């Protein structure tokens, strides 16, 4: 039961981000006729679930585009001098990340803060 609820929570969270992504894709598709997109998703998301939901929802909304989903790292630059990848499993945690070097919240996210569409 716990796993079903946990997985359901993950899907519910990713639906929010997939919906926002599809809205951007549809905007580009209708405005410019673009039919091929690269969607760069930070590692803070559950990439397999995101990709599955994206493909299913594009089919459901009958949006005739092709998407390639790429995973990108979440990286920070901290005042202690650390620059590099951090691990987080929740997109909302990107705004309150502790530096793995000094364990303080003095870092600025330099990569992987948002989903990018190219």
Per DSSP, 35 falls in state -
Contact 90, 44 (CB under 8 A): yes
> What CA–CA distance (Å, rounded) separates 62 from 8?
25
pLDDT of residue 13: 77
Q: Strand pairing partners for 71?
A: 41
pLDDT of residue 4: 37
**pLDDT tens-place values along the chain, 118 residues long:** 333 344 456 667 788 899 999 999 999 999 999 999 999 999 888 899 899 999 999 999 898 999 999 999 999 999 999 999 988 766 666 667 888 899 888 888 899 889 999 9
Per CATH, the number for 2-117 is 3.30.2320
Dihedral class, residue 62 (left if φ above 0, else alpha if ψ from -120 to 50, else beta): left
> What CA–CA distance (Å, rounded) separates 68 from 55?
10
Q: Which two tokens stand for residue 46?
A: 């559950």
pLDDT of residue 10: 60
pLDDT of residue 93: 64
Angstrom CA distances, 100 to 10, 94, 117, stand at: 25, 14, 29
pLDDT of residue 9: 64
Contact 45, 14 (CB under 8 A): yes
Task: Map out the domains of the chain as residue ranges.
Answer: 2-117
CA atoms within 13 A on the CB side of 37: 29
pLDDT of residue 37: 97
């Amino acid at each position: 039961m716990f796993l079903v609820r946990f997985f359901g929570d993950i899907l519910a969270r990713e639906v929010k981000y997939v919906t926002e992504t599809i809205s951007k894709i549809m905007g580009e598709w209708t405005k410019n006729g673009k039919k091929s997109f690269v969607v760069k998703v930070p590692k803070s998301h559950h990439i397999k679930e995101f990709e599955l939901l994206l493909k299913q929802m594009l089919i459901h909304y009958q949006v005739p585009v092709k998407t390639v989903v790429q995973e990108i790292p979440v990286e920070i630059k901290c005042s202690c001098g650390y620059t590099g990848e951090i691990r987080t499993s929740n997109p909302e945690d990107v705004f309150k990340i502790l530096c793995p070097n000094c364990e303080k919240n003095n870092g600025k996210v330099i990569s992987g803060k948002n989903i990018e569409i190219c």
